């Protein structure tokens, strides 16, 4: 009996513990669907707000109501590429925060990015109507 207790105690102490400084363990299969859902919501909100900002800006520029001061955003293809890059970077940041165990931080980052795009679109509308 004493030998069995010693073997069990040795087996329990030999279980490797997770490295607190290493990468987090992969999420269980049930959580992966939630992560995909959250990333798709991030992409929809961030991509939609970036498209809104780009659409309103292009609307004002095409009608001669606005002047773009950023030289990279003056023509169509570079402007689309920049907005897409910003949207992808925002989704990656939100996913990284969520993956590291900060779902509230990811939500705050998503809404901050959306708020900036909506504010830029609102400013373009205000400037176009002056």
**Which sequence spans correspond to the domains of the chain?**
34-128
pLDDT at 22: 66
Query: pLDDT tens per residue, the chain (130 residues)?
Result: 666 666 566 655 545 555 666 666 666 654 556 778 888 999 999 999 999 999 999 998 888 888 888 888 888 888 899 999 999 999 999 999 998 888 899 999 999 999 999 999 999 999 888 7
Separation of alpha carbons 20 and 17, rounded Å: 9
- CB–CB of 58/76 below 8 Å? yes
pLDDT at 5: 64
pLDDT at 23: 67
- CB–CB of 24/101 below 8 Å? yes
H or E element at residue 72 = none
């Amino acid at each position: 009996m004493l030998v069995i207790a010693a073997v069990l105690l040795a087996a329990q102490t030999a279980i490797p513990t997770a490295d607190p400084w290493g990468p987090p363990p992969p999420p269980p299969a049930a959580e992966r669907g939630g992560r995909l859902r959250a990333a798709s919501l991030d992409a929809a909100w961030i991509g939609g707000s970036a498209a809104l900002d780009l659409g309103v800006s292009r609307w004002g520029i095409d009608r001669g109501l606005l002047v773009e001061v950023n030289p990279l955003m003056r023509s169509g293809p570079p402007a689309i590429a920049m907005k897409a890059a910003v949207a992808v970077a925002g989704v990656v940041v939100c996913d990284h925060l969520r993956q590291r165990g900060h779902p509230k931080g990811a939500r705050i980052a998503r809404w901050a990015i959306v708020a900036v795009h909506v504010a830029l679109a609102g400013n373009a509308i205000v400037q176009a109507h002056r």
